[in-house]
């Protein structure tokens, strides 16, 4: 019973490059959430997706960031033209439902370093 999978675990990009972060939810989970954790801080919500739909992207920066969760395959968080301030840990979580009682199961995170 595999948990939430994220890859890569570590990603190094130069300023101006693109970063692609992948997340495969737990089996049977159709709700995916992305969070960002800056150094010495808690996790901050970025986006909530269901299959083929972005439900809530209120935490996403307006530019350079996009997310998708296609019908087949993992959810992708894409950061274009990365800058040093994008260096952070990016966590994906999945949930079987939207109700408040459902915990979110977190992946191990992708640590992005922008040089």
Partner 1 sequence: AQKITQTQPGMFVQEKEAVTLDCTYDTSDPSYGLFWYKQPSSGEMIFLIYQGSYDQQNATEGRYSLNFQKARKSANLVISASQLGDSAMYFCAMRERDTGNQFYFGTGTSLTVIP
Strands 75-79 and 19-24, bridge-based pairing: antiparallel
Instruction: Provide, rounded to whole angstroms, the least separation between the CB of residue 102 and partner 1.
Output: 8
Please choose, out of 18-26, 53-61, 70-78, 80-88, the segment that lies near partner 1 by the rule CB under 8 A.
53-61
Q: Give the CA distances from residue 72 to residues 52, 68, 75, 94, 108, in Å, rounded to whole numbers and listed in that order.
A: 9, 11, 9, 16, 22
Of these, 18, 55, 61, 81, which contacts partner 1 (CB under 8 A)?
55
Q: Which is nearer to partner 1, 72 or 99 (CB)?
A: 99
Binding mask 6-45 for partner 1 (x = CB under 8 A): ---------------------------x-x-----xxxxx
- Report yes or no: 89 and 35 within 8 Å, Cβ to Cβ: no
Size of the site for partner 1 (CB under 8 A): 27
The residues of the shown chain that bind partner 1, judged by CB under 8 A, are: 33, 35, 41-45, 48, 55-56, 59, 89, 91, 93, 98-109, 111
């Amino acid at each position: 019973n595999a948990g939430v999978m994220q890859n890569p675990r570590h990603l190094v990009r130069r300023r101006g490059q693109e970063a692609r972060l992948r997340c495969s939810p737990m089996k049977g989970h159709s709700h995916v959430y992305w969070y960002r954790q800056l150094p010495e801080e808690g996790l901050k919500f970025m986006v909530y997706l269901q299959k083929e739909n972005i439900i809530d992207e209120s935490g996403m920066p307006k530019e350079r960031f996009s997310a998708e969760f296609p019908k087949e395959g993992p959810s992708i968080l894409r950061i274009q033209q990365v800058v040093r301030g994008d260096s952070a840990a990016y966590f994906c979580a999945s949930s079987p439902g939207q109700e408040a009682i459902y915990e979110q199961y977190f992946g191990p995170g992708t640590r992005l370093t922008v040089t």
